[in-house]
Each structure stands twice: as C-alpha cells, then as structure tokens.
A = this chain, B = another copy of it.
C-alpha cells in the first residue's frame, strides 16, 4: 500500500504509511481501487498534500503535513485544513462499507479543536460508528506527530455521511439510494 502520487516533499517529515491498520480488516481489491480512485479525484487533498496512511474496512487513515501555507494567524495549522482531512477520512471510512456503485456525500460534521495544531504532520483516523443503508455515522480523531513521535490529539470529529447514486456525467445532483422495503 503506497501513497497516492503525492510529490515526495509531501511525504517528507515522517508521514507514515499504513501504521496502525491491521491487515485482518483489509479491503477487497475492488473496493480499495474504488476508494483510492475517488481520493485521487479530491483535488483539495492534493492541494493540501494529504496522503493515504491506511485503508481498511470501516477505517481510513489520512495524513496532512504541516506546511507554512496551511496555517491560521498564529502559525498553527488552520481548522479548515484539519477538518478537510478528517472529513475525507470519515467519508471514505463510510464508503468502504458501501456497495459498489454508490458514492458518498457529507451530510454534516462537528469538530472540537482540542489543542493548537502544532507538529510535523497530522494523522486523521476515522472509524464507522454506525453503518446504515442511507446514513453512516463516523468518528475521527486527528493526532499531531512531531519528531517522529505521536503527540496528543488536536481534533475530534463526529460526522454523518450519506450514500448516494452517482449522477449522470455532467454533474447532476446525486440522489439518495435508499428505497422502501418491500
């Protein structure tokens, strides 16, 4: 399992690959391909330098580097960047449990900022708390890493994701996939 085509600089400074994700819950190859392909299309993640640190069933780990151009006014990483990586981790954790042919959209999330985001990079680990046919609830924690060592958590997210049918080419609004039981 490797990064997803980031320039090497984005992985400098200790952004790890796949630490902490057990092989026991590995994704089947089709689902992994589907998720990696979707992550690759999230251009904001490329802009922010995010890399994949782990993909498993119901659990996704993404790394955000510290960069001087991602900060708030005091030189800590901006809550918007922390949120971006946590949101994507939650979305793909949810997507990892959805059947092929479904896309995922964020319904809502709530983020508590626990500490200023200082460190060399920031690891967002998202897990599914409740997977439903239409809605999936995820939790994510973002932890700072500095000097090659895990520091304390900087943010917690609690999020709702929605399974949708992808629209036709051209960008039709996706529609929910649920249907009444028969």
Contacts and interface: CB of A to CB of B under 8 A. Distances in A.
Interface stretch (A5-13, A16-24, A153-161): A153-161
A113 B103 contact: no
A173 interface: yes
Q: What secondary structure prevails in chain A residues at the interface with B?
A: mixed
Contacts of A81: 44, 80, 84
Interface residues of A, number: 67
A51 interface: no
A162 interface: yes
A161 to B, nearest CB: 10
B83 A112 contact: no
A169 to B, nearest CB: 10
A137 B112 contact: yes
Interface string A1-43: 0000000000000000000000000000000000000110111
Q: Which of A77, A88, A135 has the most CB of B within 10 A?
A: A135
A180 B180 contact: no
A150 interface: no
A110 B129 CA distance: 15
Interface in A137-156: 137, 139, 153, 156
B175 A181 contact: yes
A17 B46 CA distance: 29
Given A80-B83, A105-B113, A134-B162, 17 more contacts: A41-B74, A43-B70, A44-B80, A47-B47, A72-B88, A74-B166, A74-B174, A80-B87, A83-B83, A107-B112, A108-B160, A112-B129, A114-B129, A135-B176, A165-B181, A176-B180, A177-B180
